[in-house]
């Protein structure tokens, strides 16, 4: 898993600093309301953010032999930096916003905000409200109201809107919410030379156009032109008008558009911006602050639960060849689905990511080719007795995997009443067989084609994550929707492709294999 992410300003930051901000409740993280925050809380003691060794990761060869190996093969490992998260630090996390203390006030504010919808017969004003609610991270509170606004504007037609900002905002909101809307709506702002020069000083309109242009589909030339036009003139506006209230938003968007941001970080930064707006709604702002703090408190509670589970599992103490990344794994899950109702998803996928990381590092570097084959055979058998064939340092890894998979399937049986082994077992086996194939390629010095590599990684192994996501995010599972491959295969495949290629940017032996794949295909 990559150790970096993009924050709301678009710059690369470590998961460690971002997750500290969002989950440990640093001074810029929690949003204090009048008379609602505790002033007596002791500051958390933060462990050092980086280890002292700042040099590059180095491969280390260890002498090792097991009864199951036919040869005394040297091992390769990477000197991964140890986890920086202290268990006592995690247990010391406390938030005054936990345990439903503010639920009554949140419900009162939700009612007030709902009254803001429909106060005006102006569709553009409703679209602005929807945009603010989504940026503040509150969309899940008002899904019905947002759907009604978008359905209305889609029915009445985007053509009724005037001005670049209203058209671009409407286009973006409709398209990102699944409506089939044509980019031809921007033709009214173009002449024979392209986008009209009179738009060059419309900062708000240009920013909306820039954000909308990032939702282009292939061969949508007008949006490619819109992105180029808006980028050029937004940069000029930054130089010309440095004191405008919208300048900060322009800077953020030019570095990372809304479409590329992680929701909780984006919401945290937009709350600061919205608070400075003269036309802000006090009830909307208070709800945004309360909601952020309450959701953060829930995330902190989940991290505590996961930390205890990981500690009790004992893998990090007994086995040392893998990356111990509890916080990073949780942060990833929390940005995919941050809403409170997806708590089960975040916990299950964090556990999956932790155990899958152990297995990934075993196949990538630590295990001999013979051990990789034996481990894969054990996974195929799905039998605790298969532990007897494994070396000691893999027995805990295998049993942890088996227990997690069975607990996950039991959870689905308890919740939905159907047996999930027919879904999960094949995916877990495919994941290990995919790892084994890569290990064999490296062992044999074979360079696959790019098509071979992606087929092995995605079709056979790369869809395990979407499988876990589907069954813990899908809210209305029925007999017809149980087979995720029929319902969500294409979107899962494309998502896995993005994750796979992004993750492979990290340095590893497998990455060097991928580079060879690309080079081979380029020469062809």
- What CATH code is carried by the domain that includes residue 497? 1.10.600.10
- Would you say residue 293 lies in a domain? no
- 506 shares a domain with 374: yes
* Residue in 422, 421, 438, 432 with CA at minimum distance from that of residue 380: 432
- 360 shares a domain with 247: no
- 242 shares a domain with 182: yes
What pLDDT score does 64 carry?
A: 27
Q: Check: pTM over 0.95? Answer yes or no.
A: no
- 339 shares a domain with 266: no
What pLDDT score does 220 carry?
A: 93
The per-residue pLDDT for range 89-124, each reduced to its tens digit, is 888 888 899 888 899 999 999 999 999 997 777 889
77 and 109 Cβ atoms separated by less than 8 Å: no
- 444 shares a domain with 378: yes
Q: Structurally, how many domains does the chain consist of?
A: 2
What pLDDT score does 381 carry?
A: 93
Whole domain around residue 451: which residue ranges?
Answer: 314-520
Rounded Cα gap, residues 78 and 326, in angstroms = 18
226 and 212 Cβ atoms separated by less than 8 Å: yes
- 253 shares a domain with 378: no
What pLDDT score does 342 carry?
A: 93
What pLDDT score does 36 carry?
A: 39
What pLDDT score does 392 carry?
A: 82
- Would you say residue 404 lies in a domain? yes
The per-residue pLDDT for range 495-511, each reduced to its tens digit, is 778 777 777 765 554 44
- 512 shares a domain with 446: yes
307 and 87 Cβ atoms separated by less than 8 Å: yes
3-state SS of 78-133? ECCCCCCCCHHHHHCCCCCCCCCCCHHHHHHHHHHHHCCCCCCCCHHHHHHHHHHH
**Residues of the chain below pLDDT 50:** 1-21, 27, 34-72, 509-511, 513-514, 517-524
- 328 shares a domain with 268: no
What pLDDT score does 175 carry?
A: 95
What pLDDT score does 488 carry?
A: 67
Among 280, 299, 325, the domain-final residue is: 280
């Amino acid at each position: 898993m990559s150790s970096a992410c993009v924050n709301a300003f678009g710059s690369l930051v470590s998961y460690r600093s971002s997750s500290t901000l969002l989950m440990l409740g640093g001074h810029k993280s929690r949003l204090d309301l009048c008379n609602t925050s505790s002033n007596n809380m002791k500051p958390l003691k933060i462990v050092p953010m980086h280890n002292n060794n700042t040099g590059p990761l180095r491969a280390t060869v260890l002498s090792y032999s097991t009864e199951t190996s036919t040869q005394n093969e040297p091992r390769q490992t990477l000197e991964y930096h140890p986890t920086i998260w202290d268990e006592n630090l995690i247990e010391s996390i406390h938030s005054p916003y936990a345990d439903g203390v503010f639920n009554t006030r949140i419900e009162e504010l939700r009612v007030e905000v709902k009254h803001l919808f429909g106060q005006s017969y102006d569709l553009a004003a409703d679209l602005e409200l929807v945009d603010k609610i989504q940026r503040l991270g509150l969309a899940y509170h008002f899904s019905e109201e947002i759907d009604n606004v978008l359905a209305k504007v889609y029915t009445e037609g985007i053509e009724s809107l005037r001005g670049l900002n209203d058209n671009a905002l409407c286009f973006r909101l409709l398209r990102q919410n699944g409506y089939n809307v044509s980019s031809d709506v921007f033709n009214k702002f173009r002449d024979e030379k392209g986008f009209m020069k009179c738009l060059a000083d419309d900062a708000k309109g240009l920013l909306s156009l820039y954000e909308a242009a990032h939702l282009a589909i292939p061969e949508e030339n007008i949006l490619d032109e819109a992105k180029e036009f808006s980028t050029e003139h937004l940069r000029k506006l930054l130089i010309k008008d440095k004191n405008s209230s919208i300048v900060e938003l322009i800077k953020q968007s030019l570095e990372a558009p809304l479409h590329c941001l992680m929701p909780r970080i984006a919401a945290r930064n937009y709350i600061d911006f919205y608070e400075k707006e003269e036309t802000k709604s006090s009830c909307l702002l208070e709800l945004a602050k309360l909601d952020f703090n309450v959701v953060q408190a829930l995330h902190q509670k989940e991290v505590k639960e996961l930390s205890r589970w990981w500690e009790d599992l004992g893998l990090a103490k007994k086995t040392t060849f893998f990356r111990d990344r509890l916080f990073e794994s949780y942060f990833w899950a929390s940005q995919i689905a941050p809403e409170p109702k997806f708590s089960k998803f975040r916990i299950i996928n964090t556990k999956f990511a932790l155990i899958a990381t152990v297995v990934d590092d075993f196949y990538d570097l630590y295990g001999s080719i013979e051990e990789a084959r034996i481990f894969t055979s054990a996974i195929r058998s799905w039998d605790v007795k298969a532990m007897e064939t494994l070396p000691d340092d893999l027995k805990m890894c295998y049993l942890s995997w088996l227990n997690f998979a069975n607990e996950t399937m039991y959870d689905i049986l308890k919740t939905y009443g159907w047996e999930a082994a027919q879904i999960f077992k094949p995916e877990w086996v495919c994941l290990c067989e995919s790892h084994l194939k890569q290990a064999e390629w490296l062992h044999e010095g074979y360079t696959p084609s790019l098509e071979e590599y992606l087929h092995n990684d995605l079709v056979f192994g790369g869809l395990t994550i979407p499988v876990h996501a589907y069954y813990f995010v899908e809210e209305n599972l029925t007999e017809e929707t149980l087979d995720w491959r029929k319902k969500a295969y294409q979107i899962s495949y494309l998502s896995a492709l993005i994750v796979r290629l992004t993750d492979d940017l990290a340095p590893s032996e497998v990455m060097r294999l991928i580079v060879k794949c690309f080079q081979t295909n380029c020469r062809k």
